[in-house]
Amino acid sequence: MPLKLALLLFFITTFISAKVYDRCELAHELKYVYEFSEREIPTWICIIAHESIYDTAAMNPGSGDHGLFQISQVYWCSPPGDGFGCNTPCASFRDDNITDDVQCVKRIFKEHSRISGDGFTAWAVYHLYCKGDTSAYIRNCFENEIENVSLGEEVLPSYLISEKPLDEDDEGYEFPPLPMPPKKTLENIIDNSDGVYKFQQLLTTPRYFESTISIPGATEPLLTRNSVEDVF
């Protein structure tokens, strides 16, 4: 099969299998299908709005982030094939089935909760847009089913209050250990003149892109300036 035709079929297949969520549809799915804590859902919707604009096929080639939650390929997924922290190929996070995305996100959240005490810090947009009162992001979605509250440090997500080991998901799958050293790519090899490869961070200076988010009740769209540099 000619290369151009193969690439065309790949992009067509990716487009067909992708999905752009409605804000409230996603909030309902996180609550009723994936059993996210009610207190977390406004923050998750905020993060997703600023990271991917609800698009499951979103990919940031600058930072190597994939899917609805913009999961990073530096530690969590491997292009191509299985590997890294979530033992999943990155392409699996860019289709319309977010089950594997959610499993990986819960793993990331647990790891960052262990490291920093707040799992949301894995996403750079959290401190910029989503750490305070995020109730506007689920406005009119639940008809007052979820209280309009902001997350406090004392609130622990439901899946952190568990007897299961940190590296085990809800189905008993044990995740592999996080990769050490950082993934070796041409972009982060900086010098081998002495025969020894040295590594630096993939991104040392954040790069920014702008996008527009519509918030219910707002008089005008919110212009966001997002960094493509995430923690993991």
Q: What does the pLDDT look like over 151-198, one tens digit per residue?
A: 544 343 443 334 444 444 455 545 445 444 333 343 433 344 444 434
- Which pLDDT score, from 0 to 100, does residue 223 have? 54
Question: Does 79 have pLDDT greater than 90?
Answer: no
Nearest to 222 by CA among 148, 149, 134, 151: 134
Q: What pLDDT digit, counting tens, does each position of 90-149 carry?
A: 999 999 999 999 999 999 999 999 999 999 999 999 999 999 999 999 999 987 565 544
Q: Looking at the predicted structure, is the pLDDT value of residue 206 above 70? A: no
Top CATH class of 3-179 equals mainly alpha
Residues 52-78, mean pLDDT to the nearest whole number: 93
pLDDT of residue 128: 95
Region 210-224 average pLDDT: 57
Task: Give residue 78's pLDDT.
Answer: 83
CA 230 to chain centre: 10
Burial, 7: exposed, middle or buried (Cβ in 10 Å; 0-12, 13-18, 19+)? Answer: exposed
Whether 40 is catalytic: no
pLDDT in tens, 119-130: 999 999 999 999
Active-site residue 111, yes or no?
A: no
Distance CA 109, CA 114 (A): 9
Q: What angle do the packed helices 23-32 and 41-52 form, to 10 degrees?
A: 130
Catalytic residue among 22, 35, 38, 51: 51
* Candidates 22, 35, 40, 65; catalytic one: 65
pLDDT reported for residue 162: 40
Q: What is the pTM for the complete model shown?
A: 0.61
Q: How far apart are the C-alpha atoms of 143 and 211, rounded to whole Å? A: 28
Q: Residue 83 and residue 196: Cα distance in Å, rounded?
A: 25
pLDDT at residue 8 is higher than 80: no
Joined together, the tokens standing for residue 191 give 């010098």
Q: What is the pLDDT of residues 17-56, one digit of tens each?
A: 789 999 999 999 999 999 999 999 999 999 999 999 999 9
